[in-house]
Amino acid sequence: MSGAASPGAPRSGIRFDGVTVAYHGNVVLDSLDLTVEPGEVMALLGPSGSGKTTALRAVAGFVQPVRGRVFIGDRDVTRLPPHQRGIGMVVQQYALFPHMRVEDNVAFGLKAQKVPKGQIPGRVTEALAMTGMDSYAKRYPRELSGGQQQRVAIARALAIRPGVLLLDEPLSALDAQLRSGMLSELARLHRELPDVSILYVTHDQVEALTLADRIAVMDQSRLRDCGTPQDLYRRPRTEFTASFVGNANLLPVRVGSGSVLFGGTELAVATDEAVWGATATLCVRPHLVGLGPGPNALRGKVAEVQWRGSTHRLYVDVAGHRVKADVRELRATPALGDEVTLHFAREDAVLLAAGVGGE
């Protein structure tokens, strides 16, 4: 496989060094420090307005930071115009040039970078083949489906063999089925191009968990958390991460030794770093909460039952808090108002010191 990054091309990562972006005095990205290692897939995960797209656009050169620097490899690109940055970019709406055939779209970057004429057709075919679009070279973008257009857009970005690939919600415009197909496609592309660093902006935790080597969680213009998907999912460090990644139950508790107190019930959890007597937040994933008696039992009233095919989602009011539980499809579903018992294992709960990740 002669991938996008040619053998001699420098392996370049991305580094944000205190990058702040503001529009008309309105801060949309607040002193971001983040390093994407060469060859790493970093997902910027967050709700809309969290600053994640702004961070990507700062790398592309479409927004100018008011403070801080952006590095691609060892190069400080903060003041460079976009066309000198050597990046590949794919956006949600594909942005294929509608007046050019697929092959001309892909050749555009090669011509712009003055690749010798003789090499262009070969590189166009190679890039299109990578995304399985080589038989559509003569089509116009309007003759392709959304998924096909996105493949061409990816081929176009890879044809110039960038060291850094920026993906801005690349799958958001596709329907669910196509999305999971493209997701594995992107994973395959990255296996084939191990030297390309990828910055992947998304609001979809499944995409981030599936693709990323590390995830940077963003909220309200700030970086809240950063770590491997497993790390963030199993041991979230902030309440925001816990609820945004995996939609966890967050229960206010008072810390004892080896246990916490939740609404009068004593629950056995690891309390290593927590201060005795302090208030803290207990984080339990809904799918790790079981129905029926067991250790760490919680009694409450059923407030809502949702059938989700293979699972049932129960909302149970326990001591004034609504606890979510995803359980295997039930033969007999509890009625609203029924008193039920929930439980979870000691090792499935994570204790977050109160206020962490808040302000």
Partner 1 sequence: MLVHSRGGRWATWTVFFALFLPVFALPLLVIVAASFATNWSGAFPSGFTTGHYGAATTGDSLQALTTSLVTALTASVLALTVGAWAALAAAALKKGGRRFMDALFVLPVAVPSVVVGLAVLVAFSKPPVLLNGTRWIVILAHTVLVMAFAYQSVSAAILRLDPMYEQAAASLGARPLLVLWRVKLPLLLPSLTAAAGLCFALSMGELSATMMLYPPDWTPLPVQIFAITDRGSLFTGAAVAVVLMATTLLVLLGVSRIRTKASFR
Residues that bind partner 1 (CB under 8 A): 60-62, 81-89, 91, 93, 95-99, 108-109, 112-113, 140, 142, 156-157, 160, 166
Task: Report, in Å, the least distance between residue 29 CB and partner 1.
Answer: 18
Q: Which two tokens stand for residue 237?
A: 């460090």
- Say if CB 303 and CB 316 are below 8 A apart: yes
Task: Report, in Å, the least distance between residue 281 CB and partner 1.
Answer: 41
Task: Report, in Å, the least distance between residue 199 CB and partner 1.
Answer: 13
Separation of alpha carbons 253 and 61, rounded Å: 46
Task: Report, in Å, the least distance between residue 261 CB and partner 1.
Answer: 54
Q: Which two tokens stand for residue 31?
A: 């002193």
Task: Report, in Å, the least distance between residue 82 CB and partner 1.
Answer: 4
Task: Report, in Å, the least distance between residue 112 CB and partner 1.
Answer: 4
Helix, strand, coil percent values for the chain (each to nearest 5): 30, 35, 40
Supply φ then ψ for residue 321, to 5 degrees. Answer: -120, 145
Separation of alpha carbons 157 and 123, rounded Å: 12
Separation of alpha carbons 290 and 282, rounded Å: 16
Q: Which two tokens stand for residue 114?
A: 């003055």
Give the residue with the Cβ less far from partner 1, 82 or 181: 82
Amino acid at 239: E
- Say if CB 299 and CB 340 are below 8 A apart: yes
- Say if CB 146 and CB 95 are below 8 A apart: no
The residues near 249 (Cβ < 8 Å, ≥ 6 apart) are 282, 283, 284, 285, 286, 289, 323, 324
